[in-house]
Structure 1
Amino acid sequence: MKNVGYLDRTIRFIIGIVLLSMLVLVEGTWKYAGLIGIPLILTGLLGTCIVYRILGVRTCSTKP
């Protein structure tokens, strides 16, 4: 069941790509912060957020 709206998905996907690029572009231990981008990209692609599901939050529109 999708619970993430289009704008939310797009923003998560873009931020995820930027963070994931840190694995290649940044030196030192900060590059591992780029791993945070993986769940953001997956949420953007799938449209489902586990945290939203637990909290009962939906940012997508419900169709009648």
Structure 2
Amino acid sequence: MKTNVGGIDRVLRIVAGLGLILWALVGGPVWAWIGVVPLATGLLGSCPAYSLLGMNTCPMKKS
């Protein structure tokens, strides 16, 4: 799996995912469990939607 999610993007995904999951746990709407998706993509560093759209927020590595 190729990494295509960069630093700030990863942090925002993890924070948003955790926030939505916590909201669902304290009685929020069922749809708040969608927070699992940004949390997983943030932790793994790879987003399937970015791959499909040809996007990449990871900085290029210098050789």
If each structure's helix is expressed as a fraction of its own residues, which one has the higher value?
Answer: 1
Residues 1-64 of structure 1: matches in 2 within 5 Å?
A: 1-26=2-27, 30=29, 32-64=30-62
Task: State the percentage of identical aligned residues.
Answer: 36
- TM-score normalised by length of structure 2: 0.89
- When normalised by structure 1's length, the TM-score is 0.88
Find the aligned partners of 1:17 and 1:34 in 2 and give their Cα distance. 10
Runs of 4+ in 1 over 6 A off after TM superposition: none
Q: Secondary structure at the match of 1:59?
A: coil
RMSD between superposed Cα atoms in Å: 1.0
Aligned length: 61
User: 2-side partners of 1:14 and 1:33: how far apart?
Assistant: 17
